[in-house]
Amino acid sequence: MSSADIPEGTVRNILEQDTLKWVFVGGKGGVGKTTCSSILSILLAQVRSSVLIISTDPAHNLSDVFQQRFTKTPTLVNGFSNLYAMEVDPNVENDDIGGNEGMDSLFSELSNAIPGIDEAMSFAEMLKLVQTMGYSCIVFDTAPTGHTLRLLQLPSTLEKGLQKVMSLKSKFGGLISQMTRLFGLDDEFGEDAILGRLESMKDVIEKVNKQFKDPDLTTFVCVCIPEFLSLYETERLVQELAKVEIDTHNIIINQVLYDEEDVESKLLKARMRMQKKYLDQFYMLYDDFNITKLPLLPQEVTGVESLKAFSRNFISPYQPSTSRGTVEDVERRISTLKLQLEDTEAELDRHRKGKQKV
């Protein structure tokens, strides 16, 4: 593949795809998913009428990254007129689902009987809420890979749950009806009410599931770092996404060390060599992906201004600084060398004094 055929190493393709409705950002824990999803949402807000970023990670970090408190209700991000954020618990809560106490207890029993059905129902309720809000684009800051894959498989989980309930209805439907009449309960507690509620959730999640499988409407951005475990996790994620028919053509490689000329540390140089090996593997495996490399910074990226400043690396490839540039660069290089020389002379003096005592 010639250099002209290699996709651009930015996220411009996502910003320019104005049909996109759902953008998932995921990967291994600790690789910077929340920072990347937050910056993506900021960039999308510059080209879209309204953007919502949702954290589905139980250990929410959105509030920390934006330095603003978010809840399960969409909240306008400070400094924006069209960017909203919310943090939702992927585990179902009876109060959030709505309905009466008797119905909730039945659904609680159902969730214990069918593994994953509680998450599916919670996800369906959240999607139903989001669908009515009319956001132009929705960004998901997802949980680590295993949780994310389960989240994307929830439509089939809900379908299996409904089939199980239907089979129970065919076996015990008459008994349930007799029991509800015997105890003087109204139709709100009957099997029809339960099935109706599940059916409505299934309709919503099936509609969204079709959108998820449409590459014009949905894409998944994989975030990773140039290390073996992260490369392995990314490959597993890409394969699983292919199985569930969700489009992915962007990879963000975070925490990359660049060989800038003032780097003298042997440890850093060793890490650079290790990273280069895995970066080469990323480019070999995903030669048709847009791969965006982000530099490792000496400080965390938190707060809207820091996020905006770092976002430039998402739309144009990062260029490491060199000492052959400005006068300031040369002076910084000389200052570094002077400090290293002073440390070396001090170490030499200590060795000489040690020998004299012996």
Q: Which positions ≥6 away from 110 have C-beta within 8 Å? A: 117, 161, 165, 194
**Residue 167 pLDDT exceeds 80:** no
- pLDDT, position 293: 96
Percent of the chain whose pLDDT exceeds 70: 66
- Residue 50: CB atoms within 10 Å: 18
d(CA 26, CA 148): 7
Mean pLDDT of 256-272: 83
- pLDDT, position 352: 80
Reading the block at residue 220, the tokens are 């998944």
Which band of pLDDT confidence, cut at 50, 70 and 90, is reported for residue 105?
Answer: low
CB-CB contact of 10 with 52 (8 Å): no
- pLDDT, position 337: 76
d(CA 88, CA 111): 19
pLDDT digit string (tens) for 175-218? 556 555 555 555 555 556 666 766 776 677 677 778 888 999 99
Sequence ranges of the binding site: 28-35, 227, 254
Which band of pLDDT confidence, cut at 50, 70 and 90, is reported for residue 172?
Answer: low
Q: Coil, strand, or helix at residue 285? A: helix
Looking at the DSSP bridge assignments, the partners of residue 223 are: 27, 252
Mean pLDDT of 34-48: 96
d(CA 111, CA 201): 14
102: left (phi over 0), alpha (psi -120 to 50) or beta: alpha
- Residue 146: CB atoms within 10 Å: 14
Sequence ranges of the binding site for ATP: 28-35, 227, 254
Q: Which carries the bigger pLDDT value, residue 259 or residue 11?
A: 11
- pLDDT, position 170: 62
> Comparing C-alpha atoms, which of 180, 281, 284 is closest to residue 229?
281
Percent of the chain whose pLDDT exceeds 90: 42
pLDDT digit string (tens) for 113-133? 555 555 555 666 677 777 777
- Which amino acid makes up residue 72? K
- Which amino acid makes up residue 146? G
φ/ψ of residue 2, rounded to 5 = -75, 160
CB-CB contact of 213 with 246 (8 Å): yes
**Residue 242 pLDDT exceeds 50:** yes
- pLDDT, position 10: 93
- pLDDT, position 232: 93
For the chain, give the mean pLDDT.
79
pLDDT digit string (tens) for 152-166? 676 666 666 666 766
d(CA 145, CA 230): 10
End-to-end CA distance of the chain: 65
Q: Which carries the bigger pLDDT value, residue 221 or residue 184?
A: 221
- pLDDT, position 47: 96
Question: Which residues belong to the active site?
Answer: 57
Strands (E) across 124-272 are located at 137-141, 218-224, 250-256
pLDDT digit string (tens) for 292-350? 999 999 889 999 999 999 999 999 998 886 545 567 666 766 777 787 788 788 888 87
